[in-house]
Amino acid sequence: MTERIKISYANCYLLSGDKGSILVDTCNYKDGPAIYSRIKDRNVRLILLTHGHFDHVSSAKYLAKRLNVPIAMSEADVHLIGNGQASKLHANTPLGRIMVFFSQGVLKKAEYSLFTPDVLLEDGQDLSEYGVNARVISLPGHTKGSVGVLTADGDFIVGDAMFNMLRPTGSRLFEDRIIMEESLQKIRSSGAKTIYVGHGKPIGNN
């Protein structure tokens, strides 16, 4: 089961299985206590980060400490922790360019609790040891190390590899447009029933 936790402008999700749960993304630094109150009794066994941008990772350390669980992410995005400007983002739409402009200012002021991930994710990695029948899918483009989580039930959490702001699209911001579009095609052809994005409401994958 996939539960959307809408606390800030970015989404995080709780994936629940027969033997445990996985928290996917952690929103902003100030959101940690509110997220914790929602999931503290849900047998969370892992925090999985779809990519290294501040609005998805900033309360990871706080939550990992409170829940006593490991943090997992792609090694390719570790350099972004506490340094979101380490990679340059691009856009190909007016809305995307506005987002790039404003994100530059926000990144300078973003609050972090720095951490080192305990688990480095790989494409195809089985997550059943954390109680959920799901696997990691590499979705680079938005960032080099962007990943998603595809469950056996057909739920696909894709982080910022897709947006649903005004309408469903590929990532509005990206490090590499061509690779981002390849990841978008991977999502669409995945066989997933529902796509859960980093910003906006879930999308039916028709």
For residue range 10-51, list pLDDT tens digits in order. 999 999 999 999 999 999 889 999 999 999 999 999 999 999
In this structure, are residues 149 and 134 in contact, taking their beta carbons and an 8 Å threshold?
yes
The percentage of the chain sitting over the pLDDT mark of 70, rounded to a whole number, equals: 87
pLDDT of the residue at 106: 57
Question: How far is Cα 78 from Cα 61, in angstroms, rounded to an integer?
Answer: 14
Q: Which residue has the higher pLDDT, 8 or 128?
A: 128
The pTM score is 0.92
Question: How far is Cα 74 from Cα 145, in angstroms, rounded to an integer?
Answer: 5
Question: How far is Cα 73 from Cα 58, in angstroms, rounded to an integer?
Answer: 13
Q: Delineate the domains of the chain, giving CATH numbers in brackets.
A: 2-199 (3.60.15.10)
The percentage of the chain sitting over the pLDDT mark of 90, rounded to a whole number, equals: 75
And the tokens for 127?
A: 């997550």
Give the residue-averaged pLDDT of 67-89: 85
For residue range 171-200, list pLDDT tens digits in order. 888 899 999 999 999 999 999 999 999 999
pLDDT of the residue at 145: 97
Whether the predicted pLDDT of 66 surpasses 90 = yes
pLDDT band at 71 (very low <50, low <70, confident <90, very high): very high
